[in-house]
Structures are given as C-alpha cells and as structure tokens.
Structure 1
Amino acid sequence: MRKKLQKVLVCGSFLWCSSIFAATPKELFPTSPVIQKQVDFWERIFTDFKSNEFVLHDRDNLAVIIGSIKVPYNINAKAGNMSLPIISPDDEIESYRQALRRFVAEGPIARHKGKREAEIWNAYSKNKAIRSLVSGKATLRVQGGLSDTFLAASQRAELYLPLMEKIFRDAGLPTDLTRIVFVESMFNLNARSKVGASGFWQLMPGTAREYIKVTRKRDERNSPLMATRAAAGVLRSNYNALKAWPLAVTAYNHGQGGMKRAVAKLKTKDLSEIILLYDAPSFGFASRNFYSEFLAAAQVHRERLEGPALSRLADENPDKG
C-alpha cells in the first residue's frame, strides 16, 4: 500500500512536473464569465457575511443576492469553533419564497406589494434577470455566511499549510490545490459528514483506502499528513484521467466517473458548458460550484487573509464566545 502511494505521488515525467511549476495559477485554474460570477459570490460569502447571517440568493444566477437575514448568536452552543445562531429564520425565508411566487402570478406589478417584493425586484432588475423572475425560473436558495469561520480556518491553516504545500510540491502538484481544504472542512480536524467522509480532506472510506489505512482501529483520514498525501493521489489521478484542472478539481466533489460521464455526454471539457448544460441528479449545486468555491477560497486567503489583512479581519471579527 505504501509503495502504491509513493508511485502515485512521484512525477510521471520531468517535463510534466516542470510545466506545472512553470505555469501561473491563472493558467492552471482558468475562469470564464460563468465561473467568475460564482467566484465573486463565494468571495462575498467568505468575507462579507458572518455565520449568523443567512444570505438569500438565486440558486442558478449567483450574481443575484436579494439580501441577508441576521440572527443572534447562541454563545452557549458550539460547533467546532463556530457559535451557532440562536434561532432559525424559517418564517422570514418563507416570506421571500411567497414573494417570489407572487411575481410569477402577478408579473412586474408585484414589486409594489410589499418590502420583500421590492427587495426581490431590485436584486433581479439590477442584474437584468427580470425575465427569469416573472417566468418562474427563479429559485431562492439560502447560504450561511462564512467570514468568521473562514478567518478562524485561516488562522488554523497556518499550522498545516507549509507541510501540506510541500507534500503537493513533492508530488508535482500545484500547491494552490491545498486550499480545497477550506471548502471541504475549513481546517476542522473533527469534520465528519453524514455520508461518511472524514478529516481535513473529507475523504470517503472507499476512496481513501486506495492510498492510506482506513480501518476500525486506524483511520488515517484524520491525520492531516496522511490525508493530504491521499488527497494528492486522488487529485493526481483525476488530472491524469481528465487532463484539465477545472475538471479534476470538480471531480474531487462529483467523482472522477461522474465527470467522465459529463464530458462524454456533452462532448466538451469546458467546465462552464458543463455547469450550464449538464443535467444529472447527482450534479447539484455543490458540484457545480465546487471549482469556483475553491478558486474563491484560494483568492481570499492569498489576498485578504495574509499578513496585515489577517490581523485586520481578526479585529473586525472579535471572538463571540
């Protein structure tokens, strides 16, 4: 097993490794208007909204942010390093859903019916998306804010990123890929998912066993070092199969087989086209946004949460507990 892991992490050729290290992040991880709209949304989630804020937005057009609902923190309830909101704003969210339905039933005149309708109209008209609003194609989604969560994760990451980057560098992989951990677990050592994923990298047992030990007695997914080596193996395998980092990164969430099916069905390796056109029950919001969320996390950490910016945000986000 160890030998297999070593073989996966060793560069297949000197030229391949050289091309990776010579390329810039923008060349390795390209964007497009479709992807950039998603990146902009996730940057705002990571920087503008705290964990006690619920952001209301259009599920398919992330440029449309209707507003946010802020609730008090419950300082007695903790989830990792995050304080939980004291109440759920379900009733208020439902009032926005009702307002959306009113536009379908009544058309543009609904914007005069109340505060919620006015907010919705302003958000959609600002982004030239009125047609989707009145045609019933607009779907409301709620996203929790993550600015304070991201700040805490960035502080924890300083302990791990140097070694994680070395592992990826030694494997011939772009070190920016280590920022996937922000998306997967926010560097929470205790992260567990309902479907069985575990650790920093939220590896599933079957996937992880290809590279590390996962047994009842020993689960190396919960070792940042071993899990990072396994994740490097997964990402390298994804890239070898898909030949493009946007697809390989998305495959980390959607699965290598799933991305192969998307490419085969649409006959394209353009992730933007896949995001817009691929229709599969398993290719939901998380998969469509995974690459963009990774790009946003890398960007925020690089430009806003290093050095003086990290200290500034710490001052702006004092400890709630």
Structure 2
Amino acid sequence: MKKLSVSILYAILSVAPIAGAQGDIAAQVVPQVLSRSPEEIRPWRAPVFADQSAALGYNESAFSIPKGMEKQVQFWIDVYTKYTTEQGVIHDAENVETVYEIVDLKGLKTEREKQKKVDEVKKIIAARLSTPEEGERLRFQLGQKDRMQDAIFYSGRYLEDMEKIFRDSKVPVELTRLAFVESSFNIMARSKVGASGIWQIMPYTARPYKMISPVVDKRNHPLEATKLAAKLLRQNYSMLESWPLAVTGYNHGPTGVLKMTKSYETRELGELIQNVRSRKSFGFASRNFYASFLAALEVEKNANKYYGSVVWSKPLPAQDLKLPVSVKYKEIVSWFDGDDSKAQVYNPHLTHKARKGHPIPAQTVISVPKDKYNVALISLARKDRTVAMEDKKGR
C-alpha cells in the first residue's frame, strides 16, 4: 500500500468561515488536515439529491433561497469562489453585500502582519464613512476559495457514507453539506469555544449521547458525528417545522430560534435577519449561517462551473475493528508501521490522553489499514489469550 502524505496541525482555532462579528484574522485561519498525493485522487461526481420523498419536511423548494436573503447568499458564494485565503473583503456586518474593499494579504507571513494590514484598511474606510455606527459595523471576511476546493477533495473520503446515514435517518441529503460550513471537512477541526470535529459539536451537546470519554471523543469520528448531527437536525425540525429555522438552530440553538419566532411573530428567516431589534440577540454567525450553507450547497453542486476541474479523494483504505481487550496507543501505531500521523487520520476520535498512553478500553472501535487488519487481529488475539491466562492464574 502506498503511504499517505500526512501533515497535521493542532491549532485550537475557530474553524467556521463566518467566525465572529469582527472577523479578525486569527479567528478565521483553519489548519490543513492533509497534503494530497496523486494516488489518492478519484473523479468527483456532482451530488444527487433525488428520491427523497421520505425525508423529513422535504420538497423541491425546501432549500430555495428565502425571500430577502438573495444578496446575502451571493456574498457567501463570492467568498467561496472569488477570494482565496491570501485575500479577503472588508464589508458591512449588517448588510454583507456592501463590500468596501478587497484586501490583499499575499506575502504577509504572520497573523500579526495580516491583522495589522486589515486594521489599517478598516481605519481608512471608517474615516470616509458618514457615521461612527457604520465604522463600528466594519468586518473583515477571509476568502475561502482554495479552502473550499480542498474541502471538496477531502469530502470524497466521507461524503458518500454521510449521505447514506442521512438517507437512512430520513433527513434531507443536502444537509450533509453543512460540514463544508462547519469545518471545511477538516477532521482535526477544534474551536476555541470547545466545538470539535467536522460537525463542530459542542461538549454539552454530545454528553447526553455518551460520545465523550477521557480517551475517546466520537465528535471527532466523521461518521459517528454525522449520526448525531442527523439526529440533532431532526430534533430541530420537529421543534421549528422549517429547515431554514432548523439549520439556523444548529448554530444558534433551536430554543433561541423558537423564542425569536414568537417574539417577532414571524417564521420567515429572512424577516428575522432583517429585524433590527433581533440583532441584539442574533449574532453575525447565526444570521449568516443558513446563507453560508445555501452558498456552500450551490458551490459544491456546481463545483466544475466555479472551479473548472475538481477531484475527490478516495475513501481511506481502512477497516473497523472492535478491540477485544484494552490496548495502548503505541500498539495501534505499530499497525501503521509506526506512522503516528497516519494513525491519527484513521482514528481522530482517540484523544490526546489516549495518544499519551492512557489505556484504550476493550470494545472501542478503531480503524486500521485493510492490509494490516489480519496483523492487528493476530496481535489482539495473542494479547487476549495472555490476559485470559493471567486472569486464570490470579483466581
């Protein structure tokens, strides 16, 4: 088997492209998951969203652009297709389509240098605006073009399985594309506020489902997290009875969205976003979450139109294995020929504590390379027999 070229960066960063009202540089830098190698590449296919009559709340217009949000969606399409991560735009945080200037960051190596340039341009723009309030609404948005192209590539490893999970859960398949907004399909995505994995699930959301232990965090397992995301989206829809509201609730919290619909006597997301009073409790990220999802949906669906030729990664050549006995992480790494980074890519749900030597308990499901599966089974069988003999002696 050819070896994957792996480069993982463990920065604890806000990974969403719509992080924070101020849109500062540090909040928008996303670590790359892997470098790609030619042997990983396979043809990309356009998504197929047909045959969803059984999906919850589904119809042909379920994900059409809500009235009043057209310019907002176009702004995010531009972010995903026009500007790379070496540039960005300074715009009005409340009227995102009002773009004042494109900022070129090429050649600036550090976040500090980039932030300094953004601040300088903001200051110049603020000086020529009519009111101080307009200046306070200035926001920088980093471009996402190259990141979206990478995300489409890496989505090839998981997206087909994710689509099956959503179909089986009777949740619209289009919603798998929320992962582009949440993490750019970076399985190592971690946010400063505690969200984790490609679905950016918070700890308090995952704990009732027993997804987190000292050594295993299933929020970081792409498919286990997808199962929970499908469940959460179903719950949101059951409460809000609207996919625009339910998707917004994934970011803002469904209870908060429900309260707003009652307070402002509207179930139209476009009206909520335009309601000036609601903005006090409806932050920039929440107001733009559904628009950025629709933009990602449009861009990925028509990737060849926006980017020319695009490709997918092949699925990882992995096979799941349920541990019959407790093992240490170093033994798992041995089944990857000592390649720790590769072991992490296959098993992002094993925590830092596990990697530092805390025993990984029996019944934990791990992934190993297919060509090492029998080697791992033999090793575990020997270990199992040894443990059984020691238990027998101890009686």
- Please say whether Structure 1 and Structure 2 have the same fold, judged by a TM-score greater than 0.5: yes
The separation in 2 between residues aligned to 1:201 and 1:225, in whole angstroms, is 10
Structure 2 unaligned segments of length 5 or more: list them: 1-51, 312-395
What is the percentage of aligned positions where both structures have the same residue? 38
Match of 2:154 among 153, 156, 169: 156
Give the letter aligned to residue 77 of structure 2: E
Distance of aligned partners of 1:96 and 1:220 in 2 relative to their CA distance in 1, 3 Å threshold: closer
Structure with greater helix share of residues? 1
Note if contact 1:220-1:226 (Cα within 8 Å) is conserved in structure 2.
yes
Question: 1:259-306: CA deviations, max 9, x gaps?
Answer: 111111111111011111152544211000000000000100001248
Distance of aligned partners of 1:252 and 1:303 in 2 relative to their CA distance in 1, 3 Å threshold: same
Q: How does 1:1-321 map to 2 (within 5 A)?
A: 18=54, 20=56, 23-24=59-60, 27-73=61-107, 87-91=113-117, 93-104=119-130, 136-137=133-134, 139-277=137-275, 278-279=277-278, 281-305=280-304, 309-311=308-310
The separation in 1 between residues aligned to 2:182 and 2:284, in whole angstroms, is 15
Give the letter aligned to residue 232 of structure 2: V
Bigger drift between 212-221 and 87-96 goes to 87-96
Structure 1 unaligned segments of length 5 or more: list them: 1-15, 76-83, 105-133, 313-321
Distance of aligned partners of 1:57 and 1:308 in 2 relative to their CA distance in 1, 3 Å threshold: closer
The separation in 1 between residues aligned to 2:232 and 2:284, in whole angstroms, is 22
Give the letter aligned to residue 304 of structure 1: A
- Matched pairs, number: 258
Q: Secondary structure at the match of 1:57?
A: strand
Distance of aligned partners of 1:194 and 1:160 in 2 relative to their CA distance in 1, 3 Å threshold: same
What is the aligned partner in structure 2 of residue 8 from structure 1? none
Q: Secondary structure at the match of 2:54?
A: helix
CA RMSD of aligned residues (A): 2.6
Note if contact 1:56-1:66 (Cα within 8 Å) is conserved in structure 2.
yes
The separation in 1 between residues aligned to 2:247 and 2:291, in whole angstroms, is 10
The alpha carbon displacement at 1:69 in A equals 1.2
The separation in 1 between residues aligned to 2:281 and 2:138, in whole angstroms, is 20
The separation in 1 between residues aligned to 2:115 and 2:214, in whole angstroms, is 40
Distance of aligned partners of 1:254 and 1:90 in 2 relative to their CA distance in 1, 3 Å threshold: same
The alpha carbon displacement at 1:211 in A equals 3.3
The alpha carbon displacement at 1:233 in A equals 0.6
The separation in 1 between residues aligned to 2:250 and 2:266, in whole angstroms, is 19
What is the aligned partner in structure 2 of residue 11 from structure 1? none
Distance of aligned partners of 1:293 and 1:92 in 2 relative to their CA distance in 1, 3 Å threshold: closer
Bigger drift between 238-247 and 301-310 goes to 301-310
The alpha carbon displacement at 1:59 in A equals 1.3
Q: Secondary structure at the match of 1:159?
A: coil
Bigger drift between 28-37 and 292-301 goes to 28-37
